[in-house]
Chains A and B, each alone.
Chain A
Amino acid sequence: MSDILEILLTANFWAAALRIATPLIFGVIGALICERAGVLNLGIEGIFTAGAMAGWMAVWLGAGLWGGVLVAALAGGFFGLIHAILTVPLGLSQHVSGIGVTLFATSLSYFIYRTALPDVSSPPRIEAFKPLDIPGLSDLPFIGPALFQQTALTFLALAVVAVTAFVLYRTPLGLAIRAVGDNPSAVESQGLSVYALRMGTVVAGSALMALGGAFLTMSAFDAFFFGMVNGRGWICIALTVFASWRPGKALIGALLFGAFDAFQVRLQTEVGSFIPGQVFLMMPYILSIAALILVARKADYPRALLVPYFRGQR
């Protein structure tokens, strides 16, 4: 018991939790705004992969770190646009289109990576984002190492939560996005374009998702490798439901998740020999399902989620 407390009381643990949470924060906010506009985006797993690959490759080719971030966002936006075209004006099944985008984005990313680097056995490395060492703040006891020795992308993720919450609840655009996910014909009658709102939101949300992937190659690791996304995208879809489609709760959910993940890794080193490692690796997925069950009854989901809207027909 005291071992567990000891783990929870180290700054190192909380720093790891925030680090693990960062890609999930990007992903869950991206998924959340798509769904707020009424479009489920199961392309997320592939968009993560595309963001990870495109960002990494841009940096590798000399675009600079922020250039890589931009390229990743553009890659995410591109796949988001495909999903948006298929599901919004064409009204195709959001489930199947999302799976299609995931398969397409993943295989295209792998294909481009393999074609550009056919013969490498160990993946080449880039100079990734370094933890910021903010003078003063980083030196604070406990809080300093836990919160202020993260990379710039972690701070960007936190800023994205704040901006998303502000835009969704405090601006006319946010009102329109929420309305288009709840009652699109009411939005149409206000003279706004349902198609433009939904497509724009899906593209923006997908660009955010891709930043979660970019964090993996440009901050957490400094290389791209196959299977590196490893289900993080799907976890974000579950977290979105857990968060009841609210940015603040999404942040809390992602942080809880990061804390749990960081905790299980440390626990594993303590009791690892008794329990197979896979049991710990399963926990995030089991936890996601448990979270879905817990909130299923009271989930206040966007009412037009999954429902295609056709102009001029009700």
Chain B
Amino acid sequence: MIRFEPREPSSLPRLILIPVAAAIVALALAAIPMLFAGLSVFNAYGLMLTGAFGSVFAFTEMLTRAAPLILTGLAAALAFRAKLWNIGAEGQLYAGALAAVAVGSGLIDAPGIVLIPLVVFCGALAGGLMMLGPTLLKTRLGVDEVVTTLLLNFIILLFVQMMLEGPMKDPMGMGWPQSEPMLDEAMLPKLMARMRIHGGLIIAFVAAVGIHILLKRTVWGFEIRAVGENANAARHAGIPVTATFIRVGLFSGALAGLAGVGEVAGLKGYLTADLSPGFGYSGIVVAMLAGLSPLGVVIAALFIASIFVGADSMSRATGVSNYLADLIVSMALICVLISGLFLRFKVRFVGAKSTEGVSK
């Protein structure tokens, strides 16, 4: 029989070591589907490694992939800290991208110094507003936010498709459902010549540091943590619980909206309905891997991004399905969930007899 004994708050090395161990276990487990697909495991990992780190191009591609993951990871981490279960980052990302394109593709003609901040702000605002409904429904009527945020993902994606086939369709798009291109002045600056890496990464880093400071050093941050630990106790202590949930919801949605801004205004230059390969859902994995720590999110996002980019490149080289990347990432989530127990509890293996004593 296994017994769990709560342990004292973990030391920093433990906080770092356990998620790393979980990631390694996940990578080892990933050898099973690889063997199933007929790959040589060491060769496959070698290809993945060079695919993510083997050249300047590979490395910048990995960072480009990490930018939206940092932002959706922060969106999940911040909300989960307050036990606001925002599963809607995918939809909020699309809302942010839609707003960015709406503002940045010719609606307003202004120099970049005005237009870029406006595009970024509108994207964040749209993402944040997407969370307002679910948060109000949760706090006012007790409607479970997990289901509402999830369902909104489908609604907003259909709305985006509707806009791309209707009012926002690019007349020059050869019939494809895509938006008009962003103005050059509205595009986030590139970080390196001839590479795709863009200013969205800077936004992501700044956001991570910002959320870290918000949580650690401000009254709001304290309130968020208190509500997350025990909303009822927080209410008794005079913390404005409803207002805290709304703030967290707005911030969380805004972070996911920024991920969408980066993808259209930094990378693609226009909006399509397949903008995100599930960044919103991967953000949940990133947040859990990071133990909901904002700075940890950056590291976790880099790890997940290198799996995606590395596995994509490996799959092109070997012809193995690139669903392998999603599979490894989902296995990492489950390993991390289990490893979380080793942070919170001492795990003891004890004889069946001695558990009889404690069960009553």
Which A residues lie at the B interface, using CB under 8 A? 40, 42, 82, 86, 89-90, 92-93, 95-97, 99-101, 103-104, 106-108, 110-112, 114-115, 118, 188, 231, 234-235, 237-238, 241, 276, 278-279, 281-282, 285-286, 288-289, 292-293, 296-297, 299, 310-312
B114 at the interface (CB under 8 A from A): no
Give chain A residues whose Cβ lies under 8 Å from the Cβ of B152.
285, 289
Give chain A residues whose Cβ lies under 8 Å from the Cβ of B355.
311
B244 at the interface (CB under 8 A from A): no
Secondary structure class of chain A's binding surface, majority of residues: helix
Distance between B352 CB and nearest chain A CB, rounded to angstroms: 13
B151 at the interface (CB under 8 A from A): yes
Interface-located stretch among B201-209, B248-256, B294-302, B334-342: B334-342
Distance between B301 CB and nearest chain A CB, rounded to angstroms: 16
Closest to B315 in A: A114
Q: Is the CB–CB distance between B284 and A96 below 8 Å?
A: yes
10 contacts between A and B (CB under 8 A): A90-B341, A100-B330, A101-B334, A106-B330, A108-B327, A241-B144, A278-B161, A285-B155, A292-B137, A299-B142
In this complex, how many residues of chain B approach chain A with their Cβ under 8 Å: the count is 51
Partner of A82, one of B36, B334, B341: B334
Q: Is the CB–CB distance between B360 and A312 below 8 Å?
A: yes
Q: Is the CB–CB distance between A99 and B284 below 8 Å?
A: yes
> Bound complex: CA of A312 vs CA of B148, how far in Å?
35
Q: Is the CB–CB distance between B338 and A111 below 8 Å?
A: no
> Bound complex: CA of A279 vs CA of B329, how far in Å?
34
Interface-located stretch among B115-123, B216-224, B318-326: B318-326
> Bound complex: CA of A42 vs CA of B137, how far in Å?
20
Given A296-B143, A311-B358, CB of A95 within 8 Å of CB of B87: yes
> Bound complex: CA of A278 vs CA of B164, how far in Å?
11
Q: Is the CB–CB distance between A103 and B144 below 8 Å?
A: no
> Bound complex: CA of A100 vs CA of B159, how far in Å?
27
B166 at the interface (CB under 8 A from A): yes
Closest to B334 in A: A100
Scoring B158, B162, B166, B331 by chain A CB atoms within 10 A of each residue's CB, the highest score goes to: B158
Give residues 106-143 of B contacting A (CB, 8 Å).
137, 141-143
Distance between A291 CB and nearest chain B CB, rounded to angstroms: 10
Give chain B residues whose Cβ lies under 8 Å from the Cβ of A285.
151-152, 154-155, 158
Given A237-B147, A297-B141, CB of A282 within 8 Å of CB of B327: no
Q: Is the CB–CB distance between B358 and A312 below 8 Å?
A: yes
Closest to B141 in A: A296
Give chain B residues whose Cβ lies under 8 Å from the Cβ of A96.
80, 284, 288, 333, 337
Closest to A306 in B: B144
Distance between A137 CB and nearest chain B CB, rounded to angstroms: 38
Q: Is the CB–CB distance between A99 and B144 below 8 Å?
A: no
Distance between B285 CB and nearest chain A CB, rounded to angstroms: 7
Partner of B155, one of A82, A282, A293: A282
Give chain A residues whose Cβ lies under 8 Å from the Cβ of B171.
none
